[in-house]
């Protein structure tokens, strides 16, 4: 039996509310399949299964708010005999109370021990708000007693119809960014990069492409970042429990601002393996789904570095705040015509972007960070090669 727990959906998400089950008991699920939709402070997220199996029990109930790590469902492994010996802990606790089972969703129920239920009723405690610590997330008498002892009762009146989403978003951003500034010793380096060649290449490409396949400068910049990162593993990965682990793939977190305020930085997964055209398609899809609220859990949690691109309406440069547990953030300011000296002593006005790197001094030093930006600048002088670099 496998406990399927609510996965972390990024540093700024501590809990989620189950909106919908996408599977039922008895369904076979595959790795990567969306099995539930969970609402977070930032957005509704499609939660993907990390392992193949068969749904044995749906523990979490629709509407239930739960912390990351809460057991949502019990899966049986392929070939595993449901109900066979050795799986006693997965049997539903006897005497499931009448209130626990909603007629509309008879399979979605939590395991609550009879003593815990009785105690909760006596003390007026909302069982939906109690986190179970027993086997498979079962709510035990201790859990109820702990909940009863909380100074701020978890049974506080439920907020009116819609909680203030933008306030929740602001809180989530504040928590992640405060943690970043508290824990990560940032250093910053910056480099002005001429985009004359990259934009000329882009223009020529777009001239021969149908409208729907045209490229934005952002796609070229993201591709160049992915290629440069291959040589700087100390910028791509996670700092957890006191040490850094470089990531095998390059998943670029792309900061996307939301129209109602706030931002999300979902991952463009395996950007290192995509060419510029594929990055552009991935980016369009990601922006569309971010705004529509249909991101996947892997996209929320697997970004290995973040790129923020201020675009043509932004300011000249941006000093990023690293999104933990990542260790670096690449920022691009507005592309603007600026004076540019060439090797022959001439001066021209060229489209220039200022690229910045904010990186974690526990993992890398400014010298390496500067070399990374120099490599990025060099790659952007050969845009035609970037398109060809698929791997």
Q: Which residues bind other proteins (CB under 8 A)?
A: 203, 206-207, 211-212, 214, 216-218, 257, 259-260, 283-284, 287, 311-313
Q: Cα dihedral angle (23, 54, 60, 141), rounded to 10 degrees?
A: 160
Type and span of the H or E element at 94: none
Half-sphere exposure of 39 (CA within 13 A, CB side): 13
Place of tokens 């120099």: 374
Mention every residue, 6+ apart, whose C-beta is less than 8 A from residue 212: none
| CA–CA gap between residue 123 and residue 146 (Å, rounded) | 12
Question: Minimum distance from CB of 366 to other proteins (Å)?
Answer: 31
Nearer Cβ to other proteins, position 36 or 318? 318
Nearer Cβ to other proteins, position 158 or 288? 288
Question: Minimum distance from CB of 63 to other proteins (Å)?
Answer: 27
Question: Minimum distance from CB of 146 to other proteins (Å)?
Answer: 44
Question: Minimum distance from CB of 202 to other proteins (Å)?
Answer: 9
| CA–CA gap between residue 327 and residue 236 (Å, rounded) | 7
Burial 148-165 (b: 16+ CB within 10 A, else e): beeeeebbeeeeeeeeeb
Nearer Cβ to other proteins, position 69 or 293? 293
Nearer Cβ to other proteins, position 217 or 325? 217
| CA–CA gap between residue 387 and residue 278 (Å, rounded) | 10
Question: Minimum distance from CB of 266 to other proteins (Å)?
Answer: 14
Q: Which of 229, 227, 234, 306 is nearest to 264 (CA)?
A: 306
Nearer Cβ to other proteins, position 162 or 313? 313
Nearer Cβ to other proteins, position 125 or 353? 353
Nearer Cβ to other proteins, position 118 or 197? 197
- Collapse the DSSP code of 271 into the 3-class scheme (helix H, G, I; strand E, B; otherwise coil) and give the result: helix
- Collapse the DSSP code of 208 into the 3-class scheme (helix H, G, I; strand E, B; otherwise coil) and give the result: coil
Q: Residue 216 carries which DSSP code?
A: P
| CA–CA gap between residue 121 and residue 240 (Å, rounded) | 41
């Amino acid at each position: 039996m496998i406990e399927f727990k609510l996965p972390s959906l990024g540093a700024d998400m501590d809990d989620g509310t189950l909106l919908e089950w996408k599977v039922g008991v008895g369904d076979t699920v595959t790795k990567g399949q969306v099995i539930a939709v969970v609402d977070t402070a930032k957005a509704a997220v499609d939660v993907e299964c990390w392992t193949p199996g068969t749904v044995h029990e749906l523990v979490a109930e629709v509407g239930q708010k739960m912390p990351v790590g809460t057991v949502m469902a019990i899966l049986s492994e392929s070939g595993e005999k449901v109900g066979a010996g050795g799986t006693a802990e997965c049997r539903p606790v006897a005497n499931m109370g009448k209130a626990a089972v909603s007629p509309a969703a008879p399979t979605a129920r939590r395991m609550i021990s009879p003593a815990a239920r009785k105690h909760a009723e006596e003390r007026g405690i909302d069982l939906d708000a109690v986190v179970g610590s027993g086997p498979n997330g079962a709510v035990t008498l201790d859990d109820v007693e702990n909940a009863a002892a909380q100074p701020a009762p978890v049974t506080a009146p439920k907020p009116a119809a819609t909680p203030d989403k933008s306030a929740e978003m602001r809180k989530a951003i504040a928590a992640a960014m405060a943690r970043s500034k508290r824990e990560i010793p940032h250093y910053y380096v910056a480099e002005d990069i001429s985009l004359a060649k990259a934009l000329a290449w882009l223009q020529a490409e777009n001239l021969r492409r149908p409208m729907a396949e045209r490229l934005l400068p952002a796609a070229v910049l993201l591709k160049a970042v992915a290629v440069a990162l291959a040589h700087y593993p100390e910028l791509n990965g996670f700092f957890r429990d006191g040490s850094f682990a470089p990531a095998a793939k390059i998943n670029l977190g792309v900061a996307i601002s939301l129209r109602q305020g706030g931002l999300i930085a979902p991952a463009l997964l395996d950007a290192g393996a995509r060419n510029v055209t594929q990055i552009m398609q991935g980016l369009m899809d990601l922006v569309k789904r971010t705004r529509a609220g249909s991101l996947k859990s892997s996209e929320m949690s697997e970004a290995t570095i973040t790129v923020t691109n201020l675009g043509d309406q932004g300011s000249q440069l941006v000093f990023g705040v690293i999104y933990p547990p990542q260790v670096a953030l690449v920022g691009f300011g507005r592309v603007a015509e600026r004076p540019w000296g060439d090797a022959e002593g001439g001066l021209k006005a060229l489209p220039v972007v200022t690229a910045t790197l904010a990186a974690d001094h526990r993992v890398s030093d400014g010298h390496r960070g500067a070399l990374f930006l120099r490599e990025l600048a060099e790659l952007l002088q050969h845009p035609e090669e970037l398109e060809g670099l698929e791997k």
